[in-house]
Amino acid sequence: MLILVNGEETQQTSALDRGLLYGQSVFETVPIAAQSLLLWEAHLNRLVAGATVIGVPLSPDFLADLSREAHSIASQCEDPAVLRVTVTAGQGGRGYLTPDPVQPTRILSCHPYPQYPVEHYDVGITLGVSDIRLATQPPLAGIKHGNRLEQILARAQWQAEWHEALLLDLDLNVVEATQSNVFLVQNGVLLTPELDRCGVAGVMRDYLIAAAQSIGVDTQIVRLSLSDVEAADEVFVSNSLIGLWPVERCLSRHYQSREISSKLLKILQKNEVIPNH
């Protein structure tokens, strides 16, 4: 597998990296199609914003190297593929104090694009509801950081028939799904949860909100409950790799409508922001 650590081709990184010691890292998973990084600028912007919050500001030189290496990997990967970019606080000894100056490490790796069942797009998925509750941590909300034990616990608890699972916060608001964001359609309006307390603000989530706007569908970013999910006309989940999957079943509901999600999926395909599959 092709891996670049600070520009060097290797399978290894420091055993004392702060990403490993404390999870002081941010990451992106970026689809690659026809040797191109899809929505690269949006991924890079989110990475930079998140890195700053966790105490790892990234210099223009560092970002230029990172971007060059990402494009280099894209040009060498089998098509389609997935680029994972991880940026950590690098080496800096034991202890919670971030070194000053911090010397970030970047790890870029190329992975096979997952073989998603075509039925997930055509028929839709079964969406479970996880027992794991997302903890409220406003300073870290929205960031795709490397502290992912909640998602690991949630993923481990999926029931056999689930294709994804909703995650609620402690106040029982629906926040997201294990590895995707969630959208509801209610009376022709798109609804998606606020991510000010927890959750990851997906690059695809932002793209879909803009795409919906472009076809005259407004999005409201609000607190949502399981009752809202059950009352919705249409439900779908999104992330950068899948694009979106309509939800066929969740709780007691079978959702018939694909009105908005099918239009949005066509936009994603037409604009080539997800690989063809």
Binding residues for a copy of itself, per CB under 8 A?
A: 1, 3, 5, 10-17, 19-25, 27, 29, 54-55, 82, 84, 86, 88, 93-98, 107, 109, 111, 132-133, 135-137, 139-140, 145-156, 170, 178-179, 198
- Least separation in angstroms between residue 57's CB and a copy of itself is 12
- Least separation in angstroms between residue 145's CB and a copy of itself is 6
Q: Which residues pair with 133 in a beta bridge?
A: 168
For the chain, the residue count is: 277
Q: How far apart are CA 52 and CA 176, in angstroms?
A: 24
- Least separation in angstroms between residue 65's CB and a copy of itself is 16
- Least separation in angstroms between residue 80's CB and a copy of itself is 14
- Helix (H) or strand (E) run with residue 56 in it: none
Name the amino acid, one letter, at 134. L
C-alpha 100: how far from its chain's center?
A: 30
Nearest to 174 by CA among 254, 248, 228: 228
- CA end-to-end distance (rounded Å), the chain: 22
Give SS3 for 211: helix
